[in-house]
Chain A
Amino acid sequence: MAEDLRDVMVKGDEEALGPHIGVFTARSTDGRILKVSQDGGIVSAVAIYGLEEGIFDGFVASVADPDDPEEPWKPRPVVITDPDEVLEAAGTKYTYCPNVSALKEAITTKACESIMFVGTPCQVRAVRKLQIVPLGMRHFPEKVKLVMGIICMENFPYEGLRSIVEELCGVWMREVAKFDIGKGKFWVFTKDGDVVSIPIDETHPFEGEPCHVCTDYCAELSDITAGSVGSPDGWSTVIVRTPKGLEILQDMVDKGLLEVKSIEEVKPGLGLVEKLAQVKKNKNAKEIEEREELNLPRPGEVFTKV
């Protein structure tokens, strides 16, 4: 008998995490996913499940080619319609990728009618706004079936990421097998099996400045949020926000596609997510105030000044 997610989930601080139904820890039960996923492979598992079940006919995500001769690891947004291709998009890219722009391709070129979108908190906000007011996107709202967010503190421009990896870590971009941020460090895993890390503080100068006016750490308006923070290595913290998100995750648990645990049983636990969410909110609220002193508009309020 599969577990009832409602028995496993706990509620956290909504001030920090945003409105939600519950939080738990999970990982995919599919070895193929875990081999390439960033953490617990939740996003990939949901996408594969949804495409196979016919709940989605398109998955908008980002793909990076580690072997690109000019710009290795530079991501581009893609529309995936074949569940066998989902794993090409697995893993976090740590640089900007205009995922929202691919929604146009999903609807027009690929004629998708039920789309799953995954993106950073700011991208989730962009999609949600479009679902309410799809200014230039005819019949868009009903075609988005699931919006997944990933936990995000900040992002790096591509050349910023390259500087971190090549100059600070001393690894060529084309040699990288995987990036990670955790335990206060930026990690690079090479194709040869080497592991290089630098303190996360050293990467701060390369952060995208536009990230510093964002106070959303946990993609507060998504259907489901996933991220590594709070869960042990190889597992993901999952924040369920909407009835639709809960229905999908419960069905996946019932079908044996997800292994779940209470987040209260694991280290470092939900407290760390709440703490870091609050750190982002406080830090960036201060940045917004400082910009206001220069008579610069608040994010989302530029239109009132023009």
Chain B
Amino acid sequence: MVKLAYVQLAGCCGCLVSLADTYERLLEILDAVDLVYCQTLMDEREVPSCDVCIVEGAVCLNHEHMVEEVKEIERKADTIVALGACAATGNFMRHSRGNQRGRPTHEAFVPVTEVLDVDYAVPGCPPSPETIETFLVLLLEGKEELLKPFAELAKKTSYCGCDLMEEIINKSMCMGCGTCAANCPARAIEMIDGRPVLNKDRCIKCGACIVSCPRFLWIGDEPIIKAFDVGKVEEGGE
């Protein structure tokens, strides 16, 4: 059974909540793994050796213990997953400037993808329960071909709503469908004249807009044809 560790760094725990929001399917996922570390759910203080380490949250470079924990992950885990935008892209932690009463010296936050050799990244704030479930099932079943997009996304360590402009609209790719606006958790995108217009003050840099764009990343027709029985004549037909 796959030994799974779940490490929480600087974040809000929302990704774990989203994972739990798969309802009874969460139990199936937990049945399929040997959960060896997860401070929210169990009393285990050190990250043990594991096959997969899921990391949620950004790394605070001014937090000595957190930096040590991150180095520990590198030594203990075979496969590292950056779950959620804070771990994958920095997310709203990118806006931190420190000098807050609780921890005035904590100002530098980077995504895990910047400091570790991360195998897979799942952006989104939080990624929806179905996205996390789909990813985990593919991971546990070892479907490397279908995991490729998540592996590619681990290479992109920062996002912003203005990516839509540079990567999609500037490249004459945007057909104005509004997927980006629908996926933005901050309602930072408005569709004007058939194109997304970003309200930069609202953007939390989670990457949900551009990653959900079908022109940025297409998952292939095959998984869709299979999932919805496109072209399938049912028994008794003909």
* Residue positions of A touching B, CB distance < 8 A: 6, 14, 18-21, 77, 95-104, 119-120, 122-123, 125-126, 128-141, 155, 157-159, 208-211, 213-214, 220-221, 223, 241-244, 246, 296-297, 299-304, 306
- Chain A neighbourhood of B228, CB < 8 A: 128, 131, 221, 223, 242, 244
| Complex contact A299–B212 (CB within 8 A) | no
Q: Are A98 and B217 in contact (CB under 8 A)?
A: no
Instruction: From A77, A140, A220, A306, give the contact of B130 (CB < 8 A).
Output: A140
The reply to whether A133 and B214 contact each other, CB–CB distance below 8 Å, is no
Contact of A99 among B178, B214, B225 (CB under 8 A): B178
B211 to chain A, nearest CB (A): 6
Question: A104–B177 Cα gap in the complex (Å)?
Answer: 13
Let me know if B173 and A221 touch, CB within 8 A.
no
Leading 8 A-B pairs by shortest Cβ distance: A300-B218, A19-B231, A101-B178, A98-B178, A96-B194, A136-B183, A136-B208, A96-B176
B38-46, B62-70, B91-99, B120-128: which lies at the interface: B120-128
Q: Does B227 contact A (CB under 8 A)?
A: yes
Q: Is B184 an interface residue (CB 8 A)?
A: yes
* Known pairs A126-B214, A137-B182; A132 contacts B124 (CB<8 A): no
Number of A-B contacts (CB under 8 A): 196
Binds A, one of B28-36, B103-111, B164-172: B164-172
| A95-B168 in contact (CB<8A) | no
B168–chain A nearest beta-carbon distance, Å: 7
A223 to B224, CA, bound (A): 11
Contacts of A223 in B (CB 8 A): 228
Point out the residue from A95, A132, A158 that lies within 8 Å of B223, measured CB to CB: A132
B218 contacts A299, CB within 8 Å?
Answer: yes
Question: Per-position contact with A for B145-177: 1 when CB-CB < 8 Å, else 0?
Answer: 000010011001000000100011001111111
Q: Which residues of B contact A155 (CB under 8 A)?
A: 175
Taking a contact as CB atoms under 8 Å apart, the answer to whether A302 and B171 are in contact is yes
B212 and A135 contacting across the interface, CB-CB below 8 Å? yes
Cβ-based interface call for B237 (8 A): yes
Chain B min CB distance to A158 (Å): 6
Q: Indicate if the CB atoms of B194 and A132 lie closer than 8 Å.
A: no
Closest to B224 in A: A128
Task: From the candidates B172, B206, B217, B231, name the one contacting A20 in the complex (CB within 8 A).
Answer: B231
Q: What is the chain B residue whose CB lies nearest that of A223? A: B228
Taking residues whose C-beta sits less than 8 angstroms from the other chain, chain B's interface range is: 35 or more
| Cα A301 to Cα B207 with chains together (Å) | 16
**B20 located at the interface, meaning its Cβ lies under 8 Å from any Cβ of chain A in the complex:** no
Candidates B168, B174, B179, B206; contact of A130 at CB < 8 Å: B179
Choice from B124, B174, B176 contacting A136 with Cβ under 8 Å: B124
- Looking at the assembled complex, report how far the CB atom of B219 sits from the nearest CB atom of chain A, in whole angstroms: 6
The residue from B21, B193, B237 contacting A6, defined by CB atoms under 8 A apart = B237
Which chain B residue shows the least CB distance to A128? B224
Contacts of B206 in A (CB 8 A): 136
A141–B232 Cα distance when bound, in Å, is 20
Q: Which residues of B contact A101 (CB under 8 A)?
A: 177-179, 181-182, 191
B172: chain A residues within 8 A (beta carbon): 209-210, 213
Is B221 among interface residues, defined by CB-CB distance under 8 A? yes
Cβ–Cβ contact A302 & B216, under 8 A = yes
Q: Give Cα distance in the complex from A303 to B163, angstroms.
A: 11
Chain A to chain B contacts (Cβ below 8 Å), 16 pairs = A20-B231, A102-B178, A126-B179, A130-B179, A130-B182, A130-B183, A131-B228, A134-B131, A136-B208, A137-B128, A138-B21, A209-B172, A220-B230, A246-B234, A297-B171, A302-B217
Q: Which of A14, A103, A140, A241 contacts B128 (CB 8 A)?
A: A140
Q: Are B129 and A138 in contact (CB under 8 A)?
A: yes
Q: A101-B179, A135-B123 are known; give 6 further A-B pairs, CB within 8 A.
A: A96-B176, A129-B214, A133-B212, A136-B185, A208-B194, A242-B231
Chain B residues whose C-beta falls within 8 Å of the C-beta of A14 in the assembled complex: 231
Closest to A241 in B: B230
Q: Give B146's nearest chain A residue, CB to CB.
A: A132
* With A96-B176, A103-B182 as contacts: A134 and B191 at CB distance below 8 Å: no
A98 to B219, Cβ gap below 8 A? no
Are the C-beta atoms of B221 and A221 separated by less than 8 Å?
yes
How far in angstroms is the closest Cβ of chain B from A135? 5
Q: A129-B212, A136-B212, A137-B183 given as contacts; is B229 within 8 A of A243 (CB)?
A: yes
**In the complex, what distance in Å separates the CA atom of A101 from the CA atom of B191?**
8
What residues of A have a CB within 8 angstroms of the CB of B194 in the complex?
95-98, 157-158, 208
Contacts of B21 in A (CB 8 A): 138
Cα separation A25 to B27 with both chains bound (whole Å):
48
